[in-house]
Structure 1
C-alpha cells in the first residue's frame, strides 16, 4: 500500500544512522571527537577525473550502479563468453573496481590472518601484486555476520592511489596504496565495536575520501585528505548499529552526502561534514545505498521496520511517497522514470519513481545480497547460487533475458569496464570453497 504525504516539512536536526556493519553496544560509548573542517578543498590534490571505462568505487563513478557501456554479454556459463578466471586468495565481499587497465579488490586471508589489497591485469587476469595491509587483528567469529567477511567494503581509487578501509584490532583504519601496491599513508580513524563486522565502502569527493563508521559504541563519519591521509573533518553520529553505504551526488543543485539508518535519512555537506537536513524514514538498521534522480532520493530496507521511500532532496526532508516493501541488502536502480529493485528473497519490483505506483512485481527466484547494475536497458544482478539474472529495465512487465550460472555463490556486486563484466564468485562450499575473479566478455 502506497502512503502519500502532504507537503509538510519533516526537517530534523538529529543525526541518523550510517554505513557500517556495526558495533555491539556493550559497555559505555567510545568518546568521539568532532573535528571541524580544516582543509575541505586542497587545491594541490589532482581533481577527480575518470574515463568512461573506469569503475572507480562502490556502484561506479556516480554510485548508482549505472554504466554507459554497451555490448555486454547477456549469456554465459563456465566456458562461454569467459575471457579469463583468476584465483582470489581468502574471502571477501569487496566488489571489483576498475581504473584503466587494472582491477583492484580487497580480501581477507586466514591462517595466518591478513587483510590484503590485490591488483589484476584487466586484459588477462594476471595478478600484478598483492599487498598485506594488516596482519592479525580480526574480530572474533561471533562479531562477524555469518554472511559477512573481514573484507566487506569495496575499494575506491582516484587513479593515483587505492583506498581501503578495514576493521582491524578494534579500530577502523584507512590505508592508501599507490598503483604499484606500496603504502602511501595509513590513518586510524577511531574505535569500532563490531556486532556484525564492518561493511561500508569509502567514497571520493574532490580532495577527500569519506569513511563512515556507524556502531553502537561510538559512531562517526570522517573525511581524509586523499594525498596526505590527514583528517579534514569528523562528525559524531548516533550510536546505532546500521550497515548502509552512502550516496554522494549533486541533488537539488547542491552536493550532498546522503545516508540511511537509525530511523533517519540524513544529508551532509561532503566538503565540511555539516548536517544539511534529516527526515524520519525506513528503520533502525539498513544495508542498501540510496539513489537519486537529481531531485528526489530513494531508499529502502529495514530492520525491524520495513519501508521503501521517496524523499525530496531540496532540504525540506519531505516524504513524497512510501510503502512497506523491504529491499534490505541489495541497492536499487533508476531507469526511464522508474525505480527497480530485487529483494533479498528474490522478488523483483518496478515502481513509478514520481508516484510510487507499482508497475509490476515478479518472483525472480533465488536469494540476493549483491546489488544490480544497469547497462542500457538491461539489469544484471547475481544471486547467492551464482546465477546472474538479466532482465529488461521496462515498466511494461518483467521480461527475463537470461539466467547465467557461474560458480556456486556470489555476494559481491558486478563491475563494468567497456564491454567487460567482472564478477567475484565463490566456487565450492565449506572448507573447500575458493573465490575467483571472472571477466565475462562477448566473443568477437
Structure 2
C-alpha cells in the first residue's frame, strides 16, 4: 500500500486522532509527533526528502548537546523538539525541549526526582520511551518507584498530571523499561509487562483519569503498542508471550489472538494490507506474518531475529535489519526472500523510510542508507555520527534528526543532530 501526502493525512485522521483535545493538532506532513511517526509505521510523508549524504560536518544544520542519557527518539512538533532524558547521578527523569530551527535548548522539566530502579541493562536507559505529543500536551512514561508512571506536560514544559499505570517489579529479568505511550482519540495508552504482572491501561489525556484496563500475561516483554487501520477496522497490536494480540483501542477488549513471535519481544509491530508482522528473540528467534481478519491464520514465518529493533513494511514488502547485522527484504504475501545483505551490527535503532530511501544504523553509530527497492539491495551511503546510536531517527520538514552519544576521554555526552541540505 503506497502512502502519499494525501494518504498520510487520511490515515492520520482515520485512526481517531481528530478526537484529541489539542487546539493545534500536529501536522502529519511536517511533524513527527510520536514513536514511529505520524502514521505509526516509520514512514515519512512522501514529499519528505532529507539528505542521504552527510557526516559530522556535511549537511549538519546544527548539533546541540543533550543533558542526561536516554534512548528515546526525538519528537518534532511545530517549532519544538522533545526528548525524554534521565540524569543518573541526580536521579532525575524528565523532558528536554529544543528549538527546531536553531537547536537551542528552550527548557528542561524534571518529572521524577529520585526513586530510579536499582539497576538497568547496559543497553537500556532510564529514559528509553519516546514522548508523544498531540500539539498542545506531551505524554511521557517512566519506570520509577517500582511503578510505570505516565505524565502529561504542556509544550511549554509545565507538569500537568502524573498517574501510576501499575506496579512494575521485574524480579527475574532486570532489563528495565522501554515502551512508548500511544495516543488514540482522547486517550493515552500505556503498557507494563514484568514477571510480577502485566497490564495495558488507557488514561484520559485531559486529566489522567483511568478509562480502561486490560490485564496482560505476567512475564517480561518490552514492545510498544501501536494502532493501525487494518482489515477494515482500527486495531491495537501487541506482540509478546509467544503470541500476537489485536485489541479494540476504544475499550481494550481483545479482537483476536494468534501464536507467533517469541516469549519476549521489543520491536513494535508493523502491517501491510491485512497482514501484520512481528519478530522476537527470546528464548528463540522468529519473524511471523499473520492475517489480521480475526482468523488468526499464520501466513508464514522464519527464524530471523529482529529483537530490539522494529521492521518496516511498505508497498507489499517487509524490510528488516536483524540482530545478526543482516538486512533482509521479504515479500509480505508469502515471505519470499527478495534479497539479503550484510549491513553490520549489533543494531537497536529501527528502520526509518523517507524520500524513497531506508535509513538504518548500528549501535556504534554507523548509518546505512539504501534505496527502497525490493528487487535488489542498492546502497547509497555509509557514514557515522558519534560512537553510540540506539535511538531511532525522525524525519520532519525534509530534515532528519539523530540522537547519538560520543564516548571520549572526558566521558559520555549525548548530542542531537539536525541533518538537512545546506
2:221 aligns to what SS in structure 1? Answer: coil
2:302 alignment partner in structure 1: 323
1:436 alignment partner in structure 2: 415
Cα pair 1:250 1:294 within 8 Å, conserved: no
Whether 2:349 is the aligned partner of 1:353: answer no
Q: For each residue in 1:228-266, what CA deviation from the matched residue of structure 2 results, as whole angstroms up to 9, or x when unmatched?
A: 111100111110111111221111111111000001100
1:286 aligns to what SS in structure 2? Answer: coil
2:275 alignment partner in structure 1: 296
Q: Which runs of 5+ in 2 are unaligned?
A: 1-15
Cα pair 2:196 2:218 within 8 Å, conserved: yes
- Count of residues in Structure 1 that have an aligned counterpart in Structure 2: 402
1:87 aligns to what SS in structure 2? Answer: strand
Displacement, 1:75? 1.0
Q: For each residue in 1:18-72, what CA deviation from the matched residue of structure 2 results, as whole angstroms up to 9, or x when unmatched?
A: xxxxxxxxxxxxxxxxxxxxxx999793489431111111010111100014321
Whether 2:135 is the aligned partner of 1:159: answer yes
2:340 aligns to what SS in structure 1? Answer: strand
1:442 aligns to what SS in structure 2? Answer: coil
2:63 alignment partner in structure 1: 85
TM-score where L is the length of structure 2 = 0.92
Match of 2:167 among 178, 181, 191: 191
For the residues of structure 1 that align with 2:255 and 2:24, how far apart are their CA atoms? 24
1:245 alignment partner in structure 2: 224
Displacement, 1:372? 0.8
Displacement, 1:442? 1.2
Match of 1:260 among 230, 239, 262: 239
Kindly indicate whether structure 1 or structure 2 has the higher relative contact order, using CA contacts under 8 Å at least 6 residues apart.
1
62-71 vs 93-102, greater mean Cα deviation:
62-71
Give the 4+ runs in structure 1 shifted more than 4 A.
40-44
Q: RMSD of the alignment, in Å?
A: 1.7
Cα pair 2:272 2:314 within 8 Å, conserved: no
Q: For each residue in 1:60-94, what CA deviation from the matched residue of structure 2 results, as whole angstroms up to 9, or x when unmatched?
A: 01111000143211111111100111111111001
1:14 alignment partner in structure 2: none
Q: 1:172 to 1:430 in 2, by over 3 A?
A: farther
TM-score where L is the length of structure 1 = 0.88
1:57 alignment partner in structure 2: 34
For the residues of structure 2 that align with 1:406 and 1:112, how far apart are their CA atoms? 28
Q: For each residue in 1:403-423, what CA deviation from the matched residue of structure 2 results, as whole angstroms up to 9, or x when unmatched?
A: 011111100000111111000
For the residues of structure 1 that align with 2:78 and 2:114, how far apart are their CA atoms? 32
Displacement, 1:110? 2.2
For the residues of structure 2 that align with 1:362 and 1:140, how far apart are their CA atoms? 40
Whether 2:21 is the aligned partner of 1:45: answer yes
Displacement, 1:318? 0.9
Match of 2:110 among 125, 132, 144: 132
Q: Which runs of 5+ in 1 are unaligned?
A: 1-39
For the residues of structure 1 that align with 2:58 and 2:18, how far apart are their CA atoms? 48
Q: 1:431 to 1:270 in 2, by over 3 A?
A: farther
Q: For each residue in 1:94-136, what CA deviation from the matched residue of structure 2 results, as whole angstroms up to 9, or x when unmatched?
A: 1101111100011110221100101100000000100000001
Cα pair 1:333 1:372 within 8 Å, conserved: yes
For the residues of structure 2 that align with 1:48 and 1:232, how far apart are their CA atoms? 24
1:315 aligns to what SS in structure 2? Answer: coil
Match of 2:364 among 385, 388, 396: 385
